[in-house]
Structure 1
């Protein structure tokens, strides 16, 4: 019997059992060590998002060991450590079957499985990080995915702004503070990793005409609630998988992240969900 952390469409997380797994064409099977509970998982737990199917397995990034490789899943071997990007959910289960296109073999000896998970969560692709350079940037959201943007923006942007009430660690994500009700300033780039209805509806209106809104994939379906007061805007989804980029950010924030992001057992998470968090699937 294997176990997973899931919701029935939305609401309270549950630990559920399931039997068996098959490595289908182009897939790898992973024995998961850790899974990251992101803003997307928080949205399902609070019914801000409702899954199309039930049960909906939580966990948007997972790290573990390959135990089976399907035909056509090239570049993977049994025993490889992998990062699996299950951005819409599915990582928080003791055994995970994932398409090879959504997994990266990552056997760096200097990092353990927990390090590797955090690096994967921070592994925003460089072409997205480049967009904040030389720009006036607003960063908002209570998710680790904003940290790489903040890290780059603080070094290379004209000015960085945050909304402290709705932003992770405002003492670290430093910038000039504004209110979610701001209506006089507009930005070249807005980075948003939040499913809070107030944030999703009001923050996009702060994007300047012709500028860029970068959102966590979980936020995409909620943008129908957003108010835009410009004629032209480019919306880009956060993309993950640049492990070298993640390593650079992790080296700067390693101690901070490990001290502030809780690592919890599945039973404890199910009884009292907290976000963001890392679940230790090794105890399932």
Structure 2
């Protein structure tokens, strides 16, 4: 595991060969949700020895419909993310959508995430890099794993070596995505940790209803394949009741299903390491 990840997970117990987890509800809906999910998932990960980053977006700018929920207010949401960090002693991450958001978000979070649609935006990548925070770049749905070298290089050129790349599938037609697991070893060749986004890779975007669909029943399949193909980390959005979630409910994992899945994944990782 790279040194910046060891620093990021300082204070968390983990085996050097373990995968790490980025998980939480899609968007900050309120204090009860983020604190409840953080408490449960941090406890599970502590018991299983999985390094953990809490994820929730302080606002959602990339929504399908004008009527879609975008957040509870930037500062309110960022302060809740900081509260999660200080209460449970875990790092937190949120996406940013414009270069002017980077400095503000960096005051509250440990990692800045670049959405897939924006992975080629040079000014956004450079602004995230200049904060000195870890930068997680999601691979564009229109890009290959090898081409993500250029996105990572933009962050490094701006003086920040703390880069993660995340695979999240490629556009397949108008309303589906497909995962090419070759992208995991291909992106690891860039010398950065690679994460598999197990939830957004199962989205079914561009629905005529204006609400994104998904296939959450396949989250376990994607996660197991990612561990088997060498992913350093997993990204899983989770919610106690996805049916009432205000964003991406159609492809989030129900919180009660997370622990048994992680137990299986730990066993798969151990089996691979021992061979």
TMscore range, shorter length: under 0.3
Task: Provide TM-score, normalisation by structure 2.
Answer: 0.27
Higher helix proportion? 2
Task: Provide TM-score, normalisation by structure 1.
Answer: 0.26
Higher strand proportion? 1
Of structures 1 and 2, the one scoring higher in RCO (CA 8 A, sep 6+) is: 1
